[in-house]
Amino acid sequence: MRRRVLSVAIATAAVTAGAAVPAAQADIAQSAVVSQNPVNTTPNVTDGTVRAIAVVGSKVVVAGNFDHVKNAGSSTTIARHNIFAFDAKTGKVDTKFVPKVDGTVYALQPGASSTVYVGGSFTNTNGVGLGSLTRLSVTTGKAVSGFNARIGHGLVFTMVRRGSHVYIGGEFTKVGGKAHAPLARVDATTGKDTGLNLSVTTPRSGALKVYRLAVDPADKHLVIDGTFTQVAGKRRYQIAMINTSGTPTLSSWATERYATPCSSSFDTYMRGIDFAPDGSYFVVVTTGAPHGTTQLCDSAARWETNKTGAGQNPTWVNWTGGDTLLSVSVTGKAVYVGGHQRWMDNPQGHDSAGPGAVSRPGIAALNPSGGKALSWNPTRTRGHGVETLVATSSGLYVGSDTDELGHEYHGRIGEFPLS
């Protein structure tokens, strides 16, 4: 049987109506490593890039920058500009959820009452100027009345919802119409700023931005990365931890391991972050070109959440030997990483397979304890790389800009079910 997947790998065998809505990317503890064989029912995004996925009840919302979608096994093209939804069980594209946004969507998060939060570079939603963060009904595609964060002068790159809080990061300069750092926490119902007012300043290169963020499931720790070199007036070079209980404060946790230079092509070489399901550690992935083991360019690294103080070092590091990692999802049994890598376990590689390197094109699973690559190796065409990995209770979704998964055509979304 031909295995069909979108450039977004979906890790869910099937989500039934009324299923629990995952609050964010760090909540799912899986009992095993997902199957290497993707399902054949997911729809096909045939152009552009899938950058975000969210499961809301029985629906899967997919977003990025694209214009054309097809149901699995169909030759009929369906017009969908940068966002659409499909039924998690059948894979059929939803005909009622057809919102209009006038820019790229970079971030999605499931909301309560069959809603989804949408962030990106757009300013208009369904013809109304709601800014670059909006909340939509997954049933109708309409904006939810009463939610208006008024994110101005910039875009939203990254987002995590924790209960009544929605954390956002990007290049924006205003929240609620007032000047603000490119990091905020807004009320999940109203969109109003809830007082995450720490300064984020002094970009190492290019524009000031928070590129990715992650929040532990208990909503006690927030980790951010980006172009900044100072947070709350303290040196925090491209990465910082913030205590979110009560009034948010900058944690004493700090590292200089991301202060060394990688390729000058990047304003920041930081990429994905994800917490373990129990919140005890988080994993950071990077780009940056091969620079050996003294720097954390083109690597995945595990960091312990409960550590405090300066001079922190990772528990383990896995280097690709010169290829970008873009995304990460931690499930307890595995650390899934995606990008356009050719190898893992390759600390001595310089765009080559060094001693001990293992082939893992585009996607890999690492051992959470020691960081070495697991045997799981579905492969995918590399392209720019896997942009998003989203674990669910029944599998792993993958989204990217290429069409091949496991040496077969799958559009730009894929789903690896739990075995």
Two tokens, residue 150: 């008024």
Dist. CA 415–CA 299, nearest whole Å: 25
Between CA 359 and CA 119 the distance in angstroms is: 35
Q: What is the pLDDT of residues 188-216, one digit of tens each?
A: 999 999 999 899 999 999 999 999 999 99
Q: Which two tokens stand for residue 307?
A: 């550590």
* pLDDT, position 135: 98
- Output the pLDDT for position 394: 87
Q: Which two tokens stand for residue 234?
A: 């303290």
Tokens matching residue 177: 């119409």
Positive or negative: CA dihedral 201, 103, 151, 239: negative
Two tokens at 275? 């917490």
**Rounded to whole angstroms, how far apart are CA atoms 264 and 236?**
19
**Residue 179, burial from CB neighbour count under 10 angstroms (0-12, 13-18, 19+):** exposed
Residue 13 pLDDT? 33
The structure tokens 């020691």 sit at 370
Spatial contact of 299 and 327, defined as CB atoms under 8 Å apart:
no
The whole-angstrom separation of Cα 232 and Cα 247 is 13
Q: What is the 3-state secondary structure (H, E, C) of 129-173?
A: CCCCEEEEECCCCCECCCCCCCCECCCEEEEEEECCEEEEEECCC
Q: Which residues of the chain have pLDDT under 50?
A: 1-25
| Amino acid 10: pLDDT | 39
Is 244 within 8 Å of 222 (Cβ atoms)? Answer: yes
User: What digits encode the pLDDT tens for the residues 25-74?
Assistant: 457 899 999 999 999 999 999 999 999 999 999 999 999 999 999 999 99
What is the structure's pLDDT at 411?
A: 81
